[in-house]
Structure 1
Amino acid sequence: MRAVSGAGTVRVEVWSDVVCPWCYIGKRRLERALEDFEHADGVEVVWRSFQLDPAFPEGVRQPVPEMLERKTGGSPEQIRAMQERVTELAAQEGLTYDLGNAIMVNTVDAHRLAHLAGEHGLGDRAHERLLRAQLAEAQVLDDPGTLVRLGVEIGLPEDEVRAVVTGDAYAREVEADLREARALGVTGVPFFVFGRAFAVSGAQPVETFLTALRRAHERARTSAPAG
């Protein structure tokens, strides 16, 4: 979303990871809340990087069901049932998941690409495309060719995307987001901060987001300097 300013302006910062199925659900619910929010034209959404598993080795690719079995100690049947429940909730938001075929990777490169997109005003589009690629299309989000293709698809210059994907640009920005998340006490995502005054953790109901938007707007309106 475009940057906005003026009395009542609300910045919504969203810490999210592109391999997180709940983050895509939360994104849709926030969007639905914005559709019902009376002052949506005064809202700026800023996407922040988060890694669900920052220790996941770079260069390693593992089927998500196997990763979840290792991480939770659950049986294949338990993991399949858990993924089916999340898939059903996603379907209620119009999302079609393919979690059984999803591949877990270290997401730092995808986050660096998202920061480049943010510089071009395409942060929301980047997160939408990366979430869909991971959760609905089972694409591999540490593959340089895949990231270049997705970046170009959302409207980024190919030479800039390729330079970022093959280098280390925006690594500091990603680390700054992760550091800020730790300072805020964020332990899971999605995590939403409204006007640096109110926080919502998790993919909460639309009504919860709408209440937070209204409270943040009222706070911004009443605290804006006169004149």
Structure 2
Amino acid sequence: MTDAIKIDVWSDIACPWCYIGKRNLENGLAAAAADEDAPEVEVVFHSFELSPDTPVDFDGGEAEYLATHKGVSTEQAQQMLERVTGVAADAGLAYRFDLLKHTNTVKAHELLHYAKEQGRQAVLAERLMSAYFTEGRHLGEEDELVSLAADAGLDADGAREALRSGRFLAAVRADQAQASAYGINGVPFFVIDGKYGVSGAQPADAFAQIVRQVWAEHREPADVDA
């Protein structure tokens, strides 16, 4: 039996390009899944905080946040948001920066590790990103996170305990340490089979191409033995 391709994804739920990259990856994998010899793929999400110093309750909108952290004018920041909104739309995502509540994401990352333990990480990652970018939900608040965890099929009491205990913080920090070891300083970043690095929200076709290539590499030993 050929081992599945493992794709490790470093991302932040507050990163607009990460949600686009996630959707493009999914669309690329769906295209490859239609192949006669379809690749088997396992996707694992890892924590990366773009702005760990962000307060839970940020005073201002997304344009103000960008202007402060990128050193650009509010008008330039607004143009950046309009551009990414257009790219998101091309990926089938309806971003609502007018509703978005910028916040610290460490608790959301802890919850994603709890979801991984429960086998629901991919479902929760989608629910969190959708809530953040399209619904204006406050992902820094415990009650909101617990509600979204329940939406993703997780036990609400278990999710609340995971957040309050902080028992998954070490896993978040371990992901961040691994990102540093890999030299990752921006997300999304995709590590395929532990040896190929793909940076940024690549088009779906690019993801389809690379998984087909790596799958062919997986099949080569079997061909040689035969």
Describe how 1:76-115 pairs up with structure 2 within 5 A. Answer: 76-115=74-113
Give 2:174's match in structure 1, choosing from 168, 176, 191.
Answer: 176
Distance 1:31 1:102 in 2: 24
Where 1:155 maps in the other structure, the secondary structure is coil
Distance 1:226 1:166 in 2: 53
Distance 2:95 2:213 in 1: 33
Residue 21 of structure 1 corresponds to 16
Q: TM-score, normalised to structure 2's length? A: 0.91
Alignment-mate amino acid for residue 123 of structure 1: Q
Q: Is the 8 A contact 1:13 1:46 kept in 2?
A: yes
Structure 1 residue 223: Cα displacement: 5.0
More displaced, 87-96 or 70-79? 70-79
Q: Is the 8 A contact 1:64 1:102 kept in 2?
A: yes
Distance 2:158 2:38 in 1: 31
Residue 10 of structure 1 corresponds to 5
Where 1:172 maps in the other structure, the secondary structure is helix
Q: TM-score, normalised to structure 1's length? A: 0.91
Structure 1 residue 8: Cα displacement: 4.2
After superposition, the C-alpha distances for 1:114-145 in whole angstroms (9 at most, x for unaligned) are 11111111111111011111111111111010
Give 1:192's match in structure 2, choosing from 190, 193, 214.
Answer: 190
Q: Is the 8 A contact 1:83 1:100 kept in 2?
A: no
Give 2:58's match in structure 1, choosing from 57, 61, 83.
Answer: 61
Runs of 4+ with deviation above 4 angstroms:
223-227
Alignment-mate amino acid for residue 117 of structure 2: E
Structure 1 residue 201: Cα displacement: 0.3
Residue 34 (str. 1) matches residue 29 (str. 2)? yes
Q: Is the 8 A contact 2:39 2:211 kept in 1?
A: no
Q: Is the 8 A contact 2:39 2:215 kept in 1?
A: no
Stretches of structure 2 that go unaligned for 5 or more consecutive residues are: none
Describe how 1:121-136 pairs up with structure 2 within 5 A. Answer: 121-136=119-134
Where 1:11 maps in the other structure, the secondary structure is strand
After superposition, the C-alpha distances for 1:76-118 in whole angstroms (9 at most, x for unaligned) are 2111111011101111111110113312211110001011111
Residue 160 of structure 1 corresponds to 158
- After superposition, the Cα gap between the structure-2 partners of 1:226 and 1:111, relative to the gap in structure 1 and judged at 3 Å, is farther
- Sequence identity, in percent? 39
Structure 1 residue 221: Cα displacement: 2.7
Structure 1 residue 165: Cα displacement: 1.9
Q: Is the 8 A contact 1:8 1:217 kept in 2?
A: no
Where 2:93 maps in the other structure, the secondary structure is coil
After superposition, the C-alpha distances for 1:140-184 in whole angstroms (9 at most, x for unaligned) are 111010001000111001111110122202101111100000111
Distance 2:127 2:144 in 1: 12
- After superposition, the Cα gap between the structure-2 partners of 1:138 and 1:223, relative to the gap in structure 1 and judged at 3 Å, is farther
- After superposition, the Cα gap between the structure-2 partners of 1:122 and 1:41, relative to the gap in structure 1 and judged at 3 Å, is farther
Where 1:101 maps in the other structure, the secondary structure is coil
Aligned residues: 221
Q: Is the 8 A contact 1:198 1:216 kept in 2?
A: no
- After superposition, the Cα gap between the structure-2 partners of 1:40 and 1:68, relative to the gap in structure 1 and judged at 3 Å, is farther
